[in-house]
Structure 1
């Protein structure tokens, strides 16, 4: 269809145009808002509070149906924050999902790295100030996210645009474990059938910008692991486990910063399977390991926010898992591990995320983790809302209606 034949939507008070670029990282979407969101002011956390209290209908409009779906993910650019003003960050961002706003998102950070290198100053005012390293052919930027400052490195072509054939990487905020091999008691109301009479499970807990509970598929009650996924049953099990942990005040330390003492919340349950790598191990994985000099590989299934499923290996959780592996002594400084999702494991052309310890010091309880992955553009959207639309600036979820 000729675009000139389409209706000319204008902002006449009845229609609110919102412009987004669409990307995916290992299959997980990132809807990046660059115009049309109400102006936010103050520190990044104050902007987050404003967005939640005053403009949450915009999040629902863009994340939920009919413009999104239950597992949509978004990023709101914040050109001015306190770290930008101090010269420590180049731009800020807020992350959105089906339930609200998250503190960190690795897959979106990888996508944003490419996007922010590719756009002009009308979208990214400090684009011209980014540092280009001619020796490595990369551009560096500092991204202010709700959990802190993330350092992003973007392979860049001679044209000044990002290079999609090379992985974007970021160095996380300080990441750490809060508990290893912890036995979690389950009340009778929160035991799922696959436990077969067990009254507790053993899990690990770690932070990578958000707090994660990591539990093997077998320990969760699924002896076939992630090779034969029972999605509905795993959804139920992780939901019940998350409720048990989040509602028990004696377990609050699992989501408390070991350095600052700041109290957080459990963002996600990650089901792990250390036995599984890429499904085409004889072909894709061998070549990928050689390219990335990876020492090991594993697969995970992440349920986060309101039981949203991450299609990617989950960058924040890769940081948490590397920190956990470092504590356990299963991944040394300098060692690399490939982390797969169900999507990257199943599709030969896709690469998992590569995690490694970027910085550690003896006696320090945390490490900084480097996460590498690929992001790609999928399109652009100019969303509108007509005043006659019964959903208005809201959105809905069939799953929530059905429940």
Structure 2
């Protein structure tokens, strides 16, 4: 066994780096979450949406350095926390991934809420701590299990922003497959949702390559077929991904499995996809497939699950969905760059 050693020899390397970024690494139902804890450049702007736009336009080289190879991978997600401008928010954040930026992410909200409690960003209370997270899409109210005696946090449940079925029974044409009927639903971002029975695949047993091809193709075809536009969230005008389900949407089913294929690059969710679960539950309620307040477990092909614990009506055109899941800590990182590293440089 190699004798223990210090990393003092690395300090001169880090000192010459254009940045030193520290992160806490989490796993939420199998999906990664990289929470940036220090070193991210200041995001300029008076509001969260201005800071979000500044990061997209001026700091994207940092996202690419942290979330693409060699430091990240195609399915990597992360969170940047900033000061909120919503008086009801405890923290504000925006989410990043290998493909770009996202105004919301369910698994990221589950993980970030637990991190906020443990890192002291909010005052911990037992048996549950409330963490209101301002996101570019709106305010997400989360609650984290907390035991004041053991100082241990646990599961998180969050209440979604108002979510709704946007377009029902839309027919699109998919190369190599033919005509497919999809629903378009909003759960913080827009998704196309369809059953695997139309596609000749199985959400659990088919190859990831086949699922990725179908998901990316449906997302593109649906964006080509209609232009979505959120009624109040300016700039939310794109279908971000496709949810492929096992077709178990009726109230007779107490559990169902789906897989999310996100973005034109085909990011594959290991978890059931928090925002996708919200969009799908909103669809189920508004199509009359399930009753309000009927719990249902949403599973991924990898064995993780989120639970829809409660739904309630927001007016007559939208619902709020309550979802629970568990985030776990898996590591810490310090990222930097050497000047002559062509593969790992910030550009």
Fold shared by both chains (TM-score > 0.5): yes
Q: 2:65 aligns with which of 61, 65, 90?
A: 61
Which runs of at least 4 in structure 1 moved beyond 4 Å after TM superposition? Answer: 258-263
Match of residue 167 from structure 2: 179
Match of residue 143 from structure 2: 153
For the 8 Å contact 1:139–1:156, the answer to whether it is kept is yes
Match of residue 352 from structure 1: 305
Match of residue 36 from structure 1: 39
Please list, as runs of the form range in 1=range in 2, the aligned pairs for 1:289-368 lying within 5 A after superposition. 296-305=254-263, 306-344=265-303, 351-361=304-314, 364-368=316-320
Render the CA deviation track for 1:301-330: whole Å, top value 9, x for unaligned: 111022100111100011111111101222
Render the CA deviation track for 1:264-322: whole Å, top value 9, x for unaligned: 2111111100359xxxxxxxxxxxxxxxxx96111111110221001111000111111
For the 8 Å contact 1:117–1:161, the answer to whether it is kept is no
Report the 3-state secondary structure (helix = DSSP H, G, I; strand = E; otherwise coil) of the residue aligned with 1:12.
helix
Between 1:231-240 and 1:304-313, the stretch displaced more is 231-240
Cα–Cα, structure 1 residues 359 and 52, in superposed 2: closer, same or farther, change >3 Å?
A: same
- Equivalenced residues, count: 340
For the 8 Å contact 2:130–2:141, the answer to whether it is kept is yes
Match of residue 4 from structure 2: 2
1:330 and 1:261 mapped to 2: Cα distance?
Answer: 30
1:116 aligns with 2:116: yes
For the 8 Å contact 1:110–1:170, the answer to whether it is kept is yes
2:215 and 2:137 mapped to 1: Cα distance?
Answer: 24
Q: Determine which structure has the larger strand proportion and give its number.
A: 2
1:81 aligns with 2:84: yes
Match of residue 280 from structure 1: none
Please list, as runs of the form range in 1=range in 2, the aligned pairs for 1:198-277 lying within 5 A after superposition. 198=178, 200-222=179-201, 225-248=202-225, 251-252=226-227, 255-258=228-231, 263-274=236-247
For the 8 Å contact 2:189–2:236, the answer to whether it is kept is no
2:94 and 2:16 mapped to 1: Cα distance?
Answer: 26
User: Which structure 1 residue ranges, 5 or more long, are not aligned?
Assistant: 277-293, 345-350, 396-403
2:233 and 2:139 mapped to 1: Cα distance?
Answer: 15
For the 8 Å contact 2:64–2:346, the answer to whether it is kept is yes
1:56 and 1:371 mapped to 2: Cα distance?
Answer: 31
For the 8 Å contact 2:192–2:218, the answer to whether it is kept is no
Cα–Cα, structure 1 residues 260 and 157, in superposed 2: closer, same or farther, change >3 Å?
A: closer
For the 8 Å contact 1:323–1:357, the answer to whether it is kept is no
Deviation of residue 13 (structure 1)? 4.4
Q: 1:141 aligns with which of 101, 120, 131?
A: 131
Deviation of residue 156 (structure 1)? 0.3
1:65 and 1:144 mapped to 2: Cα distance?
Answer: 29
For the 8 Å contact 2:17–2:336, the answer to whether it is kept is no
1:156 and 1:263 mapped to 2: Cα distance?
Answer: 34
Q: Determine which structure has the larger helix proportion and give its number.
A: 1
Between 1:152-161 and 1:6-15, the stretch displaced more is 6-15
Superposed CA RMSD: 2.2
For the 8 Å contact 1:172–1:370, the answer to whether it is kept is yes
Report the 3-state secondary structure (helix = DSSP H, G, I; strand = E; otherwise coil) of the residue aligned with 2:333.
strand
2:150 and 2:43 mapped to 1: Cα distance?
Answer: 30
Deviation of residue 261 (structure 1)? 7.9
Q: 2:329 aligns with which of 369, 372, 377?
A: 377
2:152 and 2:306 mapped to 1: Cα distance?
Answer: 18
Match of residue 283 from structure 1: none
